Every structure is written in C-alpha cells, then in structure tokens.
Amino acid sequence: MKYTTIIGLEIHLQISTRTKAFCSCENGFGKEPNTSVCPVCLGMPGSLPVLNRQYLYRAVKTALALNCEVARRMKFDRKNYFYPDLPKNYQISQYDMPLSQNGFLEIMTTGGIKKIGITRAHMEEDAGKLIHDEGGSSSFIDLNRAGTPLLEIVSEPDISSPDEAYTYLKTLKSVLEYLDVSDCNMEEGSLRCDANISLMPAGEKGLGTKVELKNMNSFKAIRQGLEYEQDRQAKILSSGGVIVQQTRLWNEKKKITELMRTKEEAHDYRYFPDPDLNDFIIERDTVLMLKKSLPEMPRAKMNRFVKEYNLSEYDACLLTSDRRMADFMEESVKLYPKPKVIANWLTGGVQAYLNEHNCRFSQIAINAGMFVDMIRLIDSKLISNNMAKDVLEEMISSGVPAKDIVKKKGFLQITDKTAIESIAADVLQSNPKVKEDYLSGKKNALGFLIGQIMKKSQGKADPVMAGQALKKLLEAGHEGV
C-alpha cells in the first residue's frame, strides 16, 4: 500500500542578545560552566524576571520575516515539568497568547514554489545542559544556558517528504541569517529541530498518529531520521500494526530511531500564566519600525538577481541562499560588471571549495577585489580556466592575490600565435594516424590533437588558439616539419 507522509517541524532558535531573556546575565557560548547564572535565571524564590527588549525586538523581526501576524497583546506562561537541568521545575514560555501566529515560508521544490504554513512563533527561555561523563557513571549540569532567549517556530503539517523538510530548514536558516538575529550554529545548539511525522494511506484525508523525533543536530541527520521513521511506520502499517504516539530519539551511530517516552499532551505541563510577568502590549508603531528595518529577504533578492543580472533561477537561488555570498556577488559586480561570469565562478569553483572543505562562505579569506582580479586575468587570456581553478583554490586558502600566485607558479598562458603553431606542427607530425582520421572526415579527432597541444605546453597554451592553429595547418595540407 502507498502512504502519504505528513511532517511538521518545531525549530528552537536561540536569539543572539547581549544578556539573557529575563535577567542581566551574559548570553554567550563557551564560558566556564555555571559562571553566567543568577537567582532570576535559576528561578530562586523572591527573584523577579524582566523581559529583555533586544530579545523582543529580534523575535518580532523574525515573526515579520515569516509573514506572521504579531499580537497586540501577549503573555508569558509557566510550562511545568521536572528535568535535571531545569532547577526551578518550570520554563517561562507562551501558551494561549503567543507573540505571533499564522505565517508562512515559501520553499523551492521540484514541483515549483510551495508555501509552508507557520502555525506560531513564540518566545520562551532555554533550560540548562547536562554533560555526561563518557565511559563513566556521572553526569554534570551546566546552567549557563538556563534562561537564554529562544524563539520556537512551529510549522503546519504541510511538509510531505524528508527532502521537503530539508529544503524548508535550509530556506528558514537562510532567512534567519539575513535577519542576523541568531548565529544558527547547530553544533552549539543555537538552532535545534524536533519533527512530527505521520503516515496516511494515499488518497485519504486527515492526519495519522504522529511520532515526534528529537536529538537531530544537523540537517543531514534530520533528513536521515525522517527517512528512517517514514520507512518504519510504513512497515508497521503494511503489516497491520498500529502506530503509537511517542517521542523517539535519533541514534546517529546506529542510524535508527529509538523510543524515548510516550508523548506528553499540553495538559501534562499544567500551563498557567506566569504571575511575575504582566501581559505585554506591543505597540503598532514599534512593529512598523521593526518592519521597516528588515533587510531584503533571500527570495526577493533572488528575483532581483534573475531580473538585473539575467541569471537562471537555480544560480540566483544558490547565490542568495547565503547572505555573505550574495553580498559578495553584488560587490564584485560593482567592480567588474560581468554578473554571469562572476556568478559562474561563485557557483562553480568557490562553491566546490566550500563543499570540499565543509566550510561556509564567511569563513574563507577572499575579498571581491582579489576575486575580480583573477577573472580579469582569465578575460585577458593571461591564464586559462584550468589554471584559474588552481589559482582560485590557493587564493582562497592562503589569501595571496592571484597575480602573485600566477607569477610564483609560472602559470602565464601561451598566447603567442607563432609558438602555438610550432607546437601544433609537432603534434601533427607525432600523430599521423589521427591527422589522417581528421582529414578523412572524423572531426572529433581535433579534440584529441588539441589535448596533445595542452599536454605538450603543460596546460599553458590557449585552447582556442590551439584549435585554430591545427585547423589552419590541416587545411593547408600540412605535411609535417
């Protein structure tokens, strides 16, 4: 039997602020354990939380960028549960009056643009962190993270495959990076994702029994976890079994999901309004001010790149998926108005370098001036495209200008017509059979002969001039030197 997959995602985004959500403790990563805590973020008796304005503003900006309706009045609630890294036994969150709801995010799929609904984006504080002694029997608690500001972004169950979930996450991360409201570092826990997945017989409407997946700390793991769970549920349903609502953990080493607990419902948390925090009125002038401060978003920039630079949607989408690369593209075009050539090198050689070294554009040592200087060397025929690939890689890794690399490696391209014709004559003399093939009508033989010139010149000959030289000699009935 065929099944329809239904996926909804919950993103926990750590908002970058100077201080924590409700106190003046520093909000940062990597400090000595338990050095950034106070009675407020630990919920000690008598302490009173105060909402961080920077946190509120950045949360509103994110909600607006996700096309959400921002509430005029919102309140905070206590979500009660016991956990070792939550010493006060409740988390300040939002329940029935959240910051925002009813938004959407557009993603690019193989079937075109798809709109994924955003149920709500609400504010809440983070808990602490457990550190387990590997191989030992002890666990430690670091409460520096307790009270750091989070925004939980909950999607509608509009996602219909693990691939779409992956695309949604990549698109969302790109929007968040444009907003500069979080570093989105998954390894440090700044962006975490839980997923709900259920299956229904194809053609039927409604939702199946959902299973929640946790503990996925990379986009790759999220896609793998969903693929595994999709297969697991399909096998259970096909054999006449019943899916049980539960929370499961993704085991990265075994590549399987494992039972964590049966799923809690909202009433299990005994939400009630936080008595230490009044309701908040969000002034419309403030919302309008924040809306005006939003930068150009990735999709708008992509459409502009297509229109202004005459790029394909694919290239424009790739370039604008990373804000730093998109800014670099625009800066380069200002210096050298050949957008198509610049885009080709960014989506080709530079992207290949990023993939190979598993790094982000913001981590490489290159500036627009150096980059367009390299392209000028190619356009001036001083280096070939093949040489430029080597130059680009060394330039990115070392930060040395292209001209200095070309000089050091003796990469200057041979463009002297007489010199190339001399090499072509030698190649024809050394390959009489191939020469006869060409003259008898096998035009593909020309490619082999050009390759021999490139080999003989150590890749320095201009390949276009090499082809022209060969044709000239062959058409003149060259008999060798």
Cβ atoms of 301 and 272 closer than 8 Å: no
Q: Which amino acid is at 206?
A: G
Digit-coded pLDDT (tens) for 421-436: 888 888 898 898 988 8
**pLDDT level of residue 315 (50, 70, 90 thresholds):** very high
**75 or 478, greater pLDDT:** 75
Q: 400: helix, coil or strand?
A: coil
**pLDDT level of residue 327 (50, 70, 90 thresholds):** very high
d(CA 215, CA 192): 8
The pLDDT of residue 481 is 38
Q: CA angle, corner 151, sides to 141 and 70, nearest 5?
A: 155
What average pLDDT score do residues 180-188 get? 89
* CB contact set of 405 (below 8 Å; sequence gap of 6+): 391, 394, 395, 398, 411
- Map tokens 């049966």 to a residue: 262
Show the DSSP H helices in 249-322 as ranges: 284-292, 298-309, 313-320
The pLDDT of residue 215 is 77
Q: Which of 278, 286, 322, 285 is nearest to 301 (CA)?
A: 322
The pLDDT of residue 419 is 84
d(CA 227, CA 138): 34
What is the H or E stretch that residue 442 is in? none
Digit-coded pLDDT (tens) for 274-311: 999 999 999 999 999 999 999 999 999 999 999 999 99
Whole-model pTM?
0.81
**365 or 245, greater pLDDT:** 245
Beta strands 211-216; 246-251: pairing state: parallel
- Mean pLDDT score across all residues of the chain: 91
**pLDDT level of residue 480 (50, 70, 90 thresholds):** very low
Q: Which of 171, 257, 247 is nearest to 222 (CA)?
A: 257
Cβ atoms of 269 and 93 closer than 8 Å: no
Q: CB 38: neighbour CB atoms within 10 A?
A: 14
**365 or 339, greater pLDDT:** 339
Digit-coded pLDDT (tens) for 121-172: 999 999 999 888 877 888 899 999 999 999 999 999 999 999 999 999 999 9
The pLDDT of residue 264 is 64
d(CA 179, CA 177): 5
